[in-house]
Amino acid sequence: MSYAVLGTGSVGQLLANKLLAMGHHVAMGARRADNEAATAWAKAGGERAKAGTFAQAAAEAEVVLLAVKGEHALAVVEAAGDALDGKVLVDITNPLDFSQGFPPRLSVCNDESLAEQIQAAVPAARVVKSLNTLAGPLMVDPGQLPEPTDVFVAGNDAAAKETVKALLTSMGHSSIVDLGGIDGARGLEGWLLLWTRLYGALGTAMFNLRLVRAEG
C-alpha cells in the first residue's frame, strides 16, 4: 500500500516511520517541496520514502494521513486539493486552542467538529476520523500499554472505514469501535476535553481508555 503523511512534526514522523517499517511506500508532505524535515526524513528512509508538497505527497498515495496541528488542518487539505479526490483521508487532528493556556479549549466542538469541516472542505475525499484520541507513540505502538485499549473510527464512507480499520489492526490495535458517520468526530474531539485534563492529572500522555462492558 502507498501512504502519504501530511505533516512533518513528531506525530507525522512517528506515523511515517511506522508505515515505512511495515513495508509500505510513504510520501511525507509539507507546505514546500524543499521542507528540511521532510527531505531529511525521505533521505534517511530509503527508496520507499519520498518527500514533496502536500499535493505531491497525496497524489501518489492510496491513503493519506493528516497529521498537522488542528489550526492548520483546513489550509493543508485545501493545499492538497484535487489530489485528495477519492482518497481515504485519515484525520488525526484535534482543534486545540492553547491561546488561553493549558488545558486548551477546543476551537470547534459540540455542534460541529474539525473533521466535518475538513470533509466539507474536500468533499471528494473519504474522510475517516481516527487516532486523534491517544498520544503519537501509542498510535503506532499500542503494545506499550499493559492491556488492550480502544481506538475509534468515524466517517461517511464504509469502505474507507474498513481500510482504516485494517491499517489500525496492522499497527497493533485490537479493539476498534465504529462511531458511525463523520459527525461521530464530535465525540472523538470532545474526548480531548477530558484527555487534556487526564494528561495533567496523571502526569503522562502514555495512557488510553479501555472500554469495559457488562457481560450478558
Quick one: 8 or 133, whose CB is closer to a second copy?
Answer: 133
Tell me the closest approach of the beta carbon of residue 101 to a second copy, in angstroms.
12
CB neighbour class for 105 (10 Å; exposed up to 12, middle 13-18, buried from 19)? middle
CB neighbour class for 128 (10 Å; exposed up to 12, middle 13-18, buried from 19)? buried
Tell me the closest approach of the beta carbon of residue 73 to a second copy, in angstroms.
18
Q: Where are the alpha helices (DSSP H) in 114-184?
A: 114-121, 136-140, 158-170
Query: Would you give the DSSP letter of residue 104?
Result: P
Quick one: 37 or 193, whose CB is closer to a second copy?
Answer: 193
Tell me the closest approach of the beta carbon of residue 88 to a second copy, in angstroms.
21
Quick one: 41 or 195, whose CB is closer to a second copy?
Answer: 195
Tell me the closest approach of the beta carbon of residue 97 to a second copy, in angstroms.
9
Residues that bind a second copy (CB under 8 A): 103, 105-106, 109-111, 138, 144-147, 149, 177-180, 184, 186-198, 200-202, 204, 206-215
Residue 155 grid coordinates? 466517517
